[in-house]
């Protein structure tokens, strides 16, 4: 039996490669969101640390003022990181939709290949059965003649 050959194999390979590229982009976008979320978590815990430390600094106005300014800077950075996170999430969603579109186009070709391959092998089996039947019928006819 001859091996199945898909006429659109090159296009399928290109779509698979394109899908891998989008998958990498998606991974990078997700990684960026995770990084920013980690930074937000660190800033939040730093603010909590400042708040607990501030109670122990009673009477030291200079250090209290420095801690208060540090806390304000952390809150400001939290706001900036929140804006950065929303932009990163928007980009991640755009990349995800692009990935899903590319993936869908690749899956269409993959399913078409699988369908044609199944049809091809079914037809090949049918041809082989017919050949075997012809051979068997020919032997039976030769026996009757002899």
Question: Can you say whether residue 4 is alpha, beta or left, with left for phi > 0 and alpha for psi between -120 and 50 degrees?
Answer: beta
Residues 135 and 146: their CA atoms lie apart, in Å, by: 17
| Residue that is written with structure tokens 């490669």 in the block | 17
C-alpha 31, offset from chain centre: 12
Each residue's pLDDT tens digit, 15-42: 999 999 999 999 999 999 999 999 999 9
Global confidence as pTM:
0.74
Q: Strand locations in 56-120, DSSP E?
A: none
Q: Are 15 and 109 in contact (CB under 8 A)?
A: yes
Each residue's pLDDT tens digit, 53-99: 766 666 677 777 888 898 899 999 999 999 999 999 999 999 999 99
Residues 146 and 141: their CA atoms lie apart, in Å, by: 9
């Amino acid at each position: 039996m001859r091996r199945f050959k898909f006429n659109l194999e090159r296009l399928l390979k290109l779509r698979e490669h394109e899908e891998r590229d989008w998958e990498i982009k998606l991974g990078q976008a997700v990684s960026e969101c995770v990084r920013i979320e980690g930074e937000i978590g660190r800033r939040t815990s730093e603010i909590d640390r400042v708040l607990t430390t501030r109670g122990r600094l009673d009477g030291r106005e200079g250090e209290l003022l420095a801690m208060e300014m540090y806390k304000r800077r952390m809150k400001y950075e939290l706001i900036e990181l929140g804006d950065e996170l929303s932009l990163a999430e928007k980009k991640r969603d755009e990349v995800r939709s692009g990935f899903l579109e590319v993936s869908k186009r690749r899956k269409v070709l993959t399913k078409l290949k699988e369908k044609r391959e199944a049809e091809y092998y079914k037809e090949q089996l049918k041809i082989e059965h017919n050949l075997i039947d012809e051979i068997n019928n020919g032997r039976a006819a030769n026996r009757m003649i002899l």
